[in-house]
Structure 1
Amino acid sequence: MSMSGDPVLERVRAIEDDFADAMSRMYTVGNELATLRARLETEASPAQWTPVAEPAAPPTPAAATAAPQPSPVPTAPAGLVTPPPPAHAPAYAPAAVPPPARPLPPAEPWWQRDGVVAKILAVVGATITLIGVAFLLALAIQMGFFGPVARVTSGALLAMGLVGAAALVRRREAGTVGALGLAATGIATAYLDVLAVTRIYDWVPLAGGMVIAGLIALGGVLLARAWDSQLLAVVAVLGVALMAPFVGLDHARLTGAFLLVLTIATWPAQVGRRWWALELARVVPTGLFLAALALAQERTAVPVVLALGLAVLVVGTTVAGTRSERLPLQLGALVPVGVMPVWSAGVAAPDRWVGTALLVVATCLLLLAAGLVVHREGTAPQHRVPEIALAAAGVTSLTAAPRAVDGGSLAIVAIVGVALVWAVAALVLRQRSVLLVAWGLGVIALLGSLALLPYVVLRSQAGDVGPRHLVTAVLLVALLVVTARASDRIIPATAPVLSRALLALAVVSTGGAVVVSGVLLGQLLDDPRGGFTAGQAGATVVWMAAAALLLLRGLRGSTIAVPAGLTLAAASVVKLLLFDLAFLGGLARVVSFIVAGLLLLGMGAGYAQALERSRREGTDRTPPGPPPGPVDNPTAPTPIPPTV
């Protein structure tokens, strides 16, 4: 039965045709709008956009009705862009183009930087002005125009006039650099005037001149803080610091006290500032003067007290600056400068124990600074107090060691002992900085221990061997072993090269300790040469035993132990044939060769057996893997014949 004449079916087909035609028109209009928008954007911007496809012609109703679709939504014609149903984004979007890279601005010459030329001209101008004033005064003195009173008065008036002119220039916005130059020139002129009334004419006692100079410096620092000028503060502090030693050359202790007071009084100028040049101007001249004063071997306790005062001040302010953000952060490099006068006093002290005590105090202050300083992340290298203080502590402790034993023959023992203490501290604390100091002291101790070589090699020196040589050898062995262990734990990158080299030196040093022990034993028996001979034989046996231990360790999995053991055994054989055969005689030669030969035979036989045992165990060992599961054997369909 045909339904072609059914009016309902015809109506449905007409609705489908109208819907398909409407959808096609909508897609066409959307594509035309996208094309128009893309053209407008291309004309408005030089950027390139993705090409826009031209819309295809919409299908005819006949084509739509030719093949009815099961869905009321028609398929988009070829070339027509159809957006996804859930999104309403435009059919075409411009491609993202990164913005063009801006060229780097050309490097600005140094003479065009803000204030550089002006500051240079201000400094040069101040210097030329001072030279001109000096020439004017010299000419006036030669012509007899100025007497002493007129000279001093004119100098004071000139200083005040320059500072007053600086204040007037400062009121103008563009007169900052000129004002600083005038103020610096006025302060320097005032210092020259104080120098004249104190040193040249002797009108004012030294203490009064120091007070006047200190007041000038404080006034200059206050003016520098008000104007926020580090240059003016440096001129004020450095000028009086350089003038004081020249004025008080005959009164060194009073000058040192004045410089210490100046250093203390100018410390608050750092609060809220980062004036590193002012820090150097405050501490360095005082530290150098007090160190020179201590080296002058003054019999009084004043240089020691001044040195301790400066050390405590520098260490205390440095630690406080790292723990509180409100206090100035000082340069870490100034810590050794502040402690240097104490070190100088310890070196120059006439009494050994006083000098040792001062060096120990200097070391403790440096260690205290290294332990108490708290660094934040990203701290600049010049503020790394622990590393700098530990390096300085290594120097002071190295100086204290021979000072404690009053030099002489025990100096090497003390140096090796101090190096061992640093190595143990590095192993316990596991700090890289301590290990670096231990390395440095260890190199010095190893070089100093070369003095033992003649007593180990030459039989003619057997009568001069003493207990100190044995102590040095034993401490050296301990130092090498501890340093090797600490290096592996703290800096693994040095392993295994450095640790193996240190252990090899330790084995060689052990042989030297055995020789020295034999010589000392021979001295007790009134035969030091015989003890030397026995010690050499014992050293060969010890090296052979160490080689055997290395071979055994190699069988346990160490890759370097076997070559090291064979090398040590070869060295022992070479020593046996070249040295022991030539220098040993009688029973010692017999014992040395027999024991060494037996050790070599035992080493060879033991190594062969152990190697065969390890191979046999490796062959018999079941390879690792999951245990086998149960095997399901099916029943045979026919009887299985017996096997023969």
Structure 2
Amino acid sequence: MSMSGDPTLQAVRQLEDEFAEAMSRMYAVGNDLARLRARLVHETSPHKWAPAPDAGAPPVAPAATAAHATPPAPGTTGMVTAPPVAHAPFAGERPPHVPPPAGPSQPSTPWWQRDGLVSRLLAVVGAGITLIGVAFLLALAIQLGFFGPLARVISAGLLAAGLVTAAIVVRRRRAGTAGALGLAATGFATAYLDVIAVTRIYEWVPVAAGLGIAGLVAVGGLLLARAWDSQLLAGIAVLGVAALAPTIAYDHMLLVAQFLLVLTIASWPAQVSRRWHVLELVRVVPTAIVIALLPALDEPVGAVILLACVLAGFVLATGLAGVRVDRTPAQAGIAVPVVAVPVLSAALAAERATGTTLMIGLTLALVLVAALTAGRLPTGSRGDTLLATGSCLYTAGITSLVAAALVADGTDWSLPALLTVGVLWAGASLALRDRTVLRATLVTSLLPLVLTVTLVPYAIDRGTATQVEPAHLVAASLTVVLLLALAQTVSEAHPRTMIAVRALLAGALLAAGGTVIIAGALLGDLADDARGGFTAGQTGATVLWLATAALLLLRGLRGSAFAVPAGLAITALSVGKLLFFDLAFLDGIPRVLSFIVGGLIVLGMGTGYAQALERSRREPGPVDKSGDGPRAPHTV
């Protein structure tokens, strides 16, 4: 039965025809878009990846329409067939990313157009010129007799208050920060000059009262700086009063030191929740300088010791709090080395026992603070922690050396005392395995190791054999221990710095030879033959070096790549010593012993190394159970 006249079938065929016509139009639009895209890429690409298709080329369906079906001819029936897959206009290859064309480089901003630079510069210059103009105005008024002393002081005070008030008004305006800072700084400077007038020029108030007034001005400046969040203004306020105090009371420097210490303590809260490291230095450095100069001004040593200890204790305590306690100033120990200077000055001015006690106490306090700041802390950042710990440890290393020098008191035992401090630091570094401690150890050990140069004449000059003392032998022995400990510590902390480790080991070997020579001279001096002991010590040093070379060669057979070259180098050094030193400076039995014993050791080294090498080559290597292949020969 034919269904050609069925209206439903006719409607379906009509819908198919309309769908096919719509798809054809979509293909045409897609091909036009593909040609447009290819043309744009061709014009913008510097490499001309692919030419744009010709206008007369047959239309190609884009890849995005590959899933669409090719419509059948109108009036036909059946399923819609899929068209052939279209290819991109880049010959089937994915084009590389086309970077956007670089625009013209932006010219750098001239320095005079940078944000706030010119305004700050003009504010500073304007403040200085204003202050000079005020001084000229007052001088002219005084010369003309307009102002008496009281009027001068009152007018200066009113001017200072007016400048600060004007600064507050200007601050409320937009972009008025720099001008406000200049006005405020000028106002505080005027106030300080007024304090000098009432205290030193007219002497209306006592020195202590003048310092108190200056302190109140500084506190006002700090409060204003806190409100404006300006470290610059805070630094100007504190630095101004620090420079003013010696001018007011130059003949009462102990009082000035006390005032500055109170100012240092009282101005610390201004740094709460701020990272004002410059203000920290401005607060501490002037106080430390004045206290350190007091012994040279013949001030009482007891008072100097008290002031120095209070300053050091306060800075250490606040530095520790800044790392461990939330919202306290994170000073990061930047002022720790500064506060050690007044304690050192007081220790040198005091008696030996008192000074030694001071330096030992300061060293222990620094080590304690470093231990409390090290590790994982609740609030301090890693940078603050490392800086605080390192600053305390480096300073402790210096103060421990000073304590050792005070204990030795300039005798022959000064160098052994310094080397003992270095050995103690090296032992602590080995035990703690901390890189910060290692760096402090290296800093502490540098000076003692440099001073060991003074031992060289006792190891090479036979004329100094009679001058050898037990302290020299102890110093040489401690040098060997210190170098070996440093080599071990550096090798564990920095495995890649083998050059430094080998240099330390070479220095230890040389120092060991010198120790043998000094020991021989000392033993010879006990037997009333110091020169003979010196020559015997030279023989012993040669034998020691050759024995060390033999041990290194033996170690090289066990797999050390560096031991064999090192052993051969030491052997060459020992042979050179035999030929150029022992032959020229030794005579008699010591010369004979040096050459015979040295020659036998070298012969034994050569024979033993050859036999051990041959034996190691004949030894079967480990069995390779992973296959049936031949065994690998044992390598040296």
TM over 0.5: yes
2:229 maps to which residue? 228
Q: Which of 400, 411, 420 matches 1:417?
A: 420
The question of 1:29 aligning with 2:22 is answered: yes
Once the two structures are superposed, what CA deviation does each residue of 1:133-184 show, in whole Å capped at 9, x if it has no partner? 2122223333444333332232223223333443444555565544433332
Matched with 2:510 is 508
Asked if the contact 1:343/1:359 (under 8 Å) is kept, the reply is yes
Amino acid of the structure 1 residue aligned with 2:484: V
Query: 1:276 is matched by which residue type in structure 2?
Result: H
CA deviation profile, 1:357-401 (whole Å, cap 9, x unmatched): 222233333333333226779755898222333333332223332
Matched position secondary structure for 1:550: helix
Q: Deviations over 1:45-72 (max 9, x none)?
A: x97799983599744489x89xxxxxx7
Output the CA distance in 1 between the equivalents of 2:380 and 2:304. Answer: 39
Residue identity matched to 1:366: L
Please state if 1:564 is matched with 2:574.
no
Report if the CA contact (8 A) 1:515-1:532 is conserved. Answer: yes
Q: Write the distance in 2 (CA, Å) between the matches of 1:506 and 1:97.
A: 63
1:460 alignment partner, one of 444, 463, 470: 463
Matched, 1:292 2:311: no
Give CA deviations for 1:559-615 in whole Å, capped at 9, x if unaligned.
222222222222222222332233333332333333222222322222222112111
Aligned counterpart, 2:60? 53
**Pairwise CA distance, 1:259:** 0.5
Q: Does the Cα contact within 8 Å between 1:466 and 1:520 map onto a contact in 2?
A: yes
Structure 2 counterparts to residues 127-526 of structure 1, below 5 A: 127-170=128-171, 172-173=173-174, 175-294=176-295, 296=297, 298-346=299-347, 348-373=348-373, 384-495=387-498, 497-526=499-528
Residues 537 and 114 (structure 1), Cα distance of their counterparts in 2 relative to 1, 3 Å cut: closer
How far the C-alpha of 1:421 sits from its partner, in A, is 2.0
CA distance in structure 2 between the aligned counterparts of 1:383 and 1:478, rounded to whole angstroms? 29
TM-score, normalised to structure 1, is 0.82
Larger deviation, residues 511-520 vs 287-296: 287-296
Which residue of structure 2 lines up, in the alignment, with residue 576 of structure 1?
578
1:116 maps to what in 2?
117
Q: Which moved more, 1:443-452 or 1:581-590?
A: 581-590
SS at structure 1 position matched to 2:299: coil
How far apart are the structure 2 equivalents of 1:415 and 1:151?
61
In the aligned structure 2, how far is the partner of 1:490 from the partner of 1:294? 43
Secondary structure of the residue aligned to 2:511 is helix
Separation (CA, whole Å) in 1 of partners of 2:298 and 2:127? 40
1:632 counterpart residue number:
none
TM-score, length-scaled by structure 2 = 0.83
Specify whether residues 331 and 567 from structure 1 end up closer, same or farther in structure 2 by C-alpha distance, changes over 3 A only. Answer: closer
Tell me if the contact between 1:541 and 1:595 (Cα under 8 Å) persists in the aligned partners. yes
Comparing 103-112 with 580-589, greater Cα deviation is found at 103-112
1:29 deviation in Å? Answer: 2.6
Equivalent residue in structure 1 for 2:81, among 45, 69, 75? 75
SS of 1:492's partner is coil
1:595 aligns with 597
The 3-state SS of whatever aligns with 1:409 is coil
Q: Report the Cα offset of residue 104 of structure 1.
A: 7.1
Secondary structure of the structure 2 residue equivalent to 1:301: helix
**Residue ranges of structure 2 left out of the alignment (5+ in a row):** 43-51, 54-58, 88-95, 630-636
Q: Distance in 1 between matches of 2:102 and 2:401?
A: 59
Distance 1:310 1:23 in 2: 98
In the alignment, the residues of structure 1 paired with residue 97 and residue 563 of structure 2 have an alpha-carbon distance, to the nearest angstrom, of 64
Match of 2:598, SS?
Answer: helix
Q: Which moved more, 1:427-436 or 1:100-109?
A: 100-109
The one-letter code of the counterpart of 1:75 is T
Instruction: Kindly provide the amino acid, as one letter, of the partner of residue 475 in structure 2.
Output: T
Supply the distance in 2 between the matched residues of 1:115 and 1:368 (Cα, whole angstroms). Answer: 44
Q: Contact (CA 8 Å) 1:27, 1:80: kept in 2 or not?
A: no
User: What is the CA distance between 1:102 and its match in structure 2?
Assistant: 7.7
- The answer to whether the 8 A contact 1:17-1:61 is kept is no
- Identify which range, 592-601 or 252-261, moves more after superposition: 592-601
Residue equivalent to 1:640: none
Aligned to 1:91: none
Q: Which amino acid aligns with 1:33?
A: M
Asked if the contact 1:297–1:350 (Cα under 8 Å) also holds between the matched residues in 2, the reply is no
The answer to whether the 8 Å contact 1:47/1:97 transfers is no
C-alpha contact (below 8 Å) 1:536/1:580 kept by paired residues:
yes
Measured in 2, the distance between the counterparts of 1:303 and 1:412 equals 29
- CA-based RMSD of the aligned residues comes to 3.7
Aligned residues with identical type, % of pairs: 52
Assess if the C-alpha contact under 8 Å between 1:297 and 1:349 holds in 2.
Answer: no
Alignment of 1:534-553 (within 5 A): 534-553=536-555
Distance in 2, matches of 1:102 and 1:365, equals 61
Contact 1:332–1:383 at 8 Å: present in 2 too?
no
Mark the runs of 5 or more structure 1 residues left unpaired by the alignment. Answer: 1-6, 66-71, 82-94, 630-644
Q: Answer whether contact 2:323 2:332 (CA < 8 A) is retained.
A: no
Please state how far the C-alpha of 1:35 moved relative to its aligned partner: 4.7
Per-residue displacement from partner, 1:618-640 (whole Å, max 9, x unpaired)?
xx4464124769xxxxxxxxxxx
Q: How does 1:602-621 map to 2 (within 5 A)?
A: 602-617=604-619, 620-621=620-621
In structure 2, relative to structure 1, the CA distance for the partners of 1:296 and 1:433 (3 Å cut) is: farther
Deviation by residue 1:481-505 (Cα, 9 ceiling, x = unmatched): 111111111011202x222222122
Structure 2 CA distance for partners of 1:19 and 1:261, relative to 1, 3 Å: same
How many angstroms apart in 2 are the aligned matches of 1:364 and 1:280? 24
Work out the CA distance in 1 between the residues paired with 2:32 and 2:231: 63
Once residues 291 and 204 of structure 2 are traced to their aligned partners in structure 1, the CA distance between those partners, rounded to angstroms, is: 27
Q: Distance in 2 between matches of 1:59 and 1:398?
A: 101
- How much has 1:40 moved relative to structure 2? 8.6
SS of 2:301's equivalent? coil
Give me the whole-angstrom Cα distance separating, in 1, the residues matched to 2:161 and 2:446.
Answer: 59
| Contact 1:20–1:74 under 8 Å retained in 2 | no
Distance 1:99 1:571, change over 3 A: closer
- SS of equivalent to 2:294: helix
**Which residue of structure 2 lines up, in the alignment, with residue 84 of structure 1?**
none
Contact 1:426 1:486 in 2 (8 A): yes
| Number of aligned positions between the proteins | 594
Q: Is the 8 A contact 1:21 1:60 kept in 2?
A: no
Contact 2:517 2:540 in 1 (8 A): yes
Alpha-carbon contact 1:198-1:204 (below 8 Å) kept: yes
Instruction: State the AA in 2 paired with 1:603.
Output: M
Q: Deviations over 1:299-345 (max 9, x none)?
A: 33111111111112212212211223311222532221233221222
Contact 2:301/2:350 (8 A) holds in 1 = no
Query: Alpha carbons of 1:78 and 1:594: their partners in 2 closer, same or farther (altered >3 Å)?
Result: closer
Larger mean Cα displacement after TM superposition, 96-105 or 304-313 = 96-105
Q: For the residues of structure 1 that align with 2:216 and 2:80, how far apart are their CA atoms?
A: 99
> Against the structure 1 CA distance between its residues 205 and 38, is the aligned structure 2 distance closer, same or farther, given a 3 Å change threshold?
farther
CA contact (8 A) 2:371 2:389 kept: yes
Q: How far, CA to CA, are the matches of 1:170 and 1:450 in structure 2?
A: 63
